[in-house]
């Protein structure tokens, strides 16, 4: 575990209309006035722990070593679910033990997981509905000033992990699904560039989603005419469907969980252009 650098990030589904986010920041600053608090997002879809996990996984590597990441998407607040501290070699994560840290557990070395049970690191009166304020914000602040994760409570040997949808791979086909719709309406799948390249290679391919088809993978969002649909690999190296200057989710009627098929065509090279999206 790296020494804390004073940066604390926040990822929640609280939105920005209420006082919840500001209150958490106030608690952090009351304990550690020199904290540098960065908002990753507060627009996670309500109670969507998988979406929170994906967003956190994509964002956290770009923060300095020693950053404390607080993620509060917590449908089980006030129940028996555990508040935890997750320690990796370079970063520390704080939040509920409800699957939010699944992508961290799967992709990175974990040094330790501790339950937050020591009341010394909580506010005096812990509510049943706002652990972001009463448990997670103070825990993050105490970690940022140098308290050890083991001070917070017992080791957790069975942290909860959610089932992450993975593509089904065949010699001539990839069967994936939509896992995220971003703010621009881009339809992001769980098919990685590595999986795509390994299956398609130099052959032609055809992408199918909700009865629509596309047969070219472009480099940027503007590599086609405005209003036209395209496929590309985004900044996280996952296959996306987008519309130049528009929202692919609305044009396709796509939502999370929808099936995305990549067919590998028999002859090398690109397939003929008789397909494409038909609006």
Q: What is the chain written as a DSSP string?
A: -PPP-SEEEEEES--SSSSHHHHHHHHHHHH-TT-EEEEEES-PPTT-HHHHHHHHHHHGGGSPTT-EEEEE--TTTTSSPPEEEEE-SS-EEEEESSSTTHHHHHHS---EEEE---GGGS-SS--SS-HIIIIIHHHHHHHHTT--GGGS-PBPSS---PPPP--EEETTEEEEEEEEE-TT--EEEEEEHHHHHHHHTTEEEEEEETTEEE--EESSTTSS-TT-EEEEE-TTSEEEEEETTB-HHHHHT--TT-EEEEEEEEEESPPPTT-S---
For residues 137 and 259, state if they share a domain.
Answer: no
Residue 256 shares a structural domain with residue 179: yes
- Tally Cβ neighbours within 10 Å of residue 80: 5
DSSP codes, 216-246: -EESSTTSS-TT-EEEEE-TTSEEEEEETTB
Q: Average pLDDT for residues 101-127, to the nearest whole number?
A: 94
User: Looking at the structure, do residues 139 and 12 belong to the same domain, yes or no?
Assistant: yes
Residue range 61-88: average pLDDT? 95
pLDDT band at 267 (very low <50, low <70, confident <90, very high): low
Last residue of a domain, one of 151, 183, 215: 151
Q: Quick one: average pLDDT of 215-239?
A: 90
The last residue of one of the domains, among 88, 123, 151, is: 151
Distances (CA, A) of 257 to 78, 134, 165, 174: 29, 34, 9, 15
pLDDT at 269 over 60: no
Query: What's the pLDDT at 268?
Result: 44
> How many domains does one find in the chain?
2
The predicted structure's pLDDT at residue 51: 92
pLDDT at 275: 38
Give the domain extent around 50.
Answer: 7-151
User: Do 197 and 82 have their domain in common?
Assistant: no
pLDDT in tens, 17-67: 999 999 999 999 999 999 999 999 999 999 999 999 999 999 999 999 999
Asked whether residue 41 is domain-assigned, the answer is yes
Verify that 68 and 103 share a domain, yes or no: yes
Residue 155, pLDDT score: 97
| Same-domain status, 145 and 206 | no
Q: Tell me whether residue 184 is in a domain.
A: yes
- With pLDDT > 70 as the criterion, what percentage of the chain qualifies? 95
CATH number at residue 257: 2.40.30.90
Q: Could you tell me if 66 and 144 lie in one domain?
A: yes
Neighbours of 123 (CB within 10 A): 17
Q: Which of 79-83, 158-162, 233-237, 269-273 shows the lowest mean pLDDT across its residues? A: 269-273
What CATH number does residue 74 fall under?
Answer: 3.40.50.10790
Query: Same domain, yes or no, for 174 and 136?
Result: no
Q: Do 94 and 183 belong together in one domain?
A: no
CA distance 47 to 277: 33
Has residue 274 been placed in a domain? no
| CB of 240 closer than 8 Å to CB of 231 | yes
pLDDT of 163 reads 84
Residues 96 and 27 in one domain: yes
Does 276 fall in a domain?
no
> Is the pTM value of this prediction over 0.85?
yes
């Amino acid at each position: 575990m790296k020494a804390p650098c004073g940066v604390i990030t926040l990822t929640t589904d609280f939105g920005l209309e209420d006082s919840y986010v500001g209150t958490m920041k106030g608690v952090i600053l009351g304990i550690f006035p020199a904290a540098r608090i960065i908002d990753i997002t507060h627009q996670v879809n309500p109670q969507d722990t998988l979406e929170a996990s994906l967003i956190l996984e994509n964002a956290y590597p770009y923060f300095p070593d020693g950053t404390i990441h607080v993620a509060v998407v917590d449908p089980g607040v006030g129940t028996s679910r555990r508040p935890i501290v997750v320690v990796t070699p370079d970063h520390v994560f704080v939040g509920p033990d409800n699957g939010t840290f699944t992508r961290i557990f799967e992709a990175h070395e974990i040094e330790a997981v501790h339950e937050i049970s020591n009341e010394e690191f909580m506010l005096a009166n812990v509510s049943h509905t706002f652990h972001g304020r009463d448990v997670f914000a103070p825990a993050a602040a105490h970690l940022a000033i140098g308290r050890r994760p083991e001070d917070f409570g017992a080791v957790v040997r069975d942290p909860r992990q959610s089932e992450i949808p993975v593509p089904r791979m065949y010699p001539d086909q990839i069967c994936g699904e939509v896992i995220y719709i971003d703010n621009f309406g881009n339809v992001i799948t769980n098919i990685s560039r590595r999986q795509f390249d390994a299956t398609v290679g130099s052959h032609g391919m055809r992408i199918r989603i909700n009865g629509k088809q596309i047969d070219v993978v472009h480099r940027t969002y503007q590599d086609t005419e405005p209003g036209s649909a395209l496929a590309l690999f985004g900044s996280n190296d996952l296959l996306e469907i987008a519309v130049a200057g528009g929202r692919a989710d609305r044009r396709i009627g796509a939502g999370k969980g929808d099936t995305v098929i990549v067919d590998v065509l028999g002859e090398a090279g690109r397939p003929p252009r008789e397909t494409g999206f038909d609006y």
